[in-house]
Amino acid sequence: MGRRVRGRRATTTATLLAVTVTALAAGCTGGSGTPDDGRGSSNASERGASPSGTAPSPLAVKLDNARSARPHTGVDAADVVYVEQVEGGLSRLMAVYATRMPESVGPVRSARESDLELLRQFHRPTLVFSGAQKKLLPLIDEAPLRAVTPSDAPDAFHRASDRAAPHNLYLRPGRIVPEAPGRAALTTGFRYGSAPGGGTATDSRTVRYPAARFTFTWSDARDRWLVGMDGAPATETGGARMAAATVVVQYVKIRESGFRDFLGNNSPYTETVGSGKATVLRDGRAWDVDWKRAKATDGTAFTTAGGSPVNFAEGQVWVVYAQAS
């Protein structure tokens, strides 16, 4: 696959716009014929324009979530885990790290167009992924983020021998982000504190995609929502059960994008800017709330029907994007 030379920043605005429009309008033909096409060697730090401000930057890692990719590694250290629908009604995860970095994270998989809008809420985040549909690459190059693939930092990745490719690629975060940036990097708009009044006692909640299922079951002993995927407990490689302090089921528009995977399946686009309804799960209770994200550079605000902010419980947050009715 041909490479774009990033040193050619003298390219005219018109040319860049033409590339972007072409990429959005064209369907994916599969590129090289593999689902994760690489990008070749590059200086990842030169990608994208940095937004104004001096806020620290978090690490976001795109994770495989096929059955063959489980159990995962390093998800328990994430501050936020986003769940999105991908081709064929399956799911992928994006784990965001700010307060601590695990030794290893994976399996790492490819990026999607929706990721770029989702990540605009952060100050020049580092996005780690294994590759992307080739017509999406120009958009990633111009996004205000630092993109890192195995071609950019080969010493930061390794392949596990206990499972087959492409479900065996792992990141060593310390080799690209030496120190955790801290909580200030989490410009999500989330608020933490005591629970709002009301709510409904809830033992479990299930979210279904066409070919994937997530169940969150409240554990008094853990004071957490235990995560289940496709009818089985979701665990880390060491056997520990994945568990969230707060779960947000956010109802959004999931539409077709301008891209297709190598099999010709359309890549769904999850719209995370706008407003709508959501359910917040914490402390064994559920609240029906409203969400709003006015523009891509904003975090998401969650409020009660009366307009009061909704606090999350301290700890890991899972945000599951579900199709609005």
DSSP 34-100: SSS----S--GGGSSPPPSS-----EEEEE--SGGGPSBBSGGG-SEEEEEE-GGG-EEEEEEESS-
Backbone torsions φ then ψ of 249, nearest 5 degrees: -100, 105
Written as six digits, the tokens of 118 are 């989702």
pLDDT value at residue 261: 74
pLDDT at 133 over 60: yes
Which DSSP symbol is given to 28? P
Per-residue confidence band for 257, with pLDDT thresholds at 50, 70 and 90: confident
Instruction: Supply the pLDDT for residue 263.
Output: 72
Q: What pLDDT is attached to residue 40?
A: 34
Of 239, 260, 253, 234, the residue nearest 293 (C-alpha): 253
Question: Distance between CA atoms of 110 and 284, rounded to whole angstroms?
Answer: 34
Q: What is the mean pLDDT of the chain?
A: 86
Question: Is the pLDDT score of 43 beyond 80?
Answer: no
What is the pLDDT at residue 21? 35
Per-residue pLDDT tens digits for 299-324: 999 999 999 999 999 999 999 999 99
Reported CATH class of domain 35-42+55-323: alpha beta
Rounded Cα distance, 313 and 195, in Å: 7
Residue type, 119: L
pLDDT value of position 47: 34
Task: Give the CA distances from residue 215 to residues 95, 134, 233, 242, 285, in Å, rounded to whole numbers and listed in that order.
Answer: 18, 34, 9, 11, 15
Residue 78, pLDDT above cutoff 90:
yes
131 versus 295: which is more confidently predicted?
295
Could you report the per-residue pLDDT of 154-169, keeping only the tens digit for each?
Answer: 999 999 999 999 999 9
Where exactly are the structural domains of the chain?
35-42+55-323
- The model's pTM is 0.84
Lowest mean pLDDT across 6-20, 42-56, 66-80, 297-311 = 6-20
Is it the case that residue 138 has pLDDT exceeding 80? yes
Q: Which of 116-125, 166-175, 232-241, 264-273 has the lowest mean pLDDT?
A: 264-273
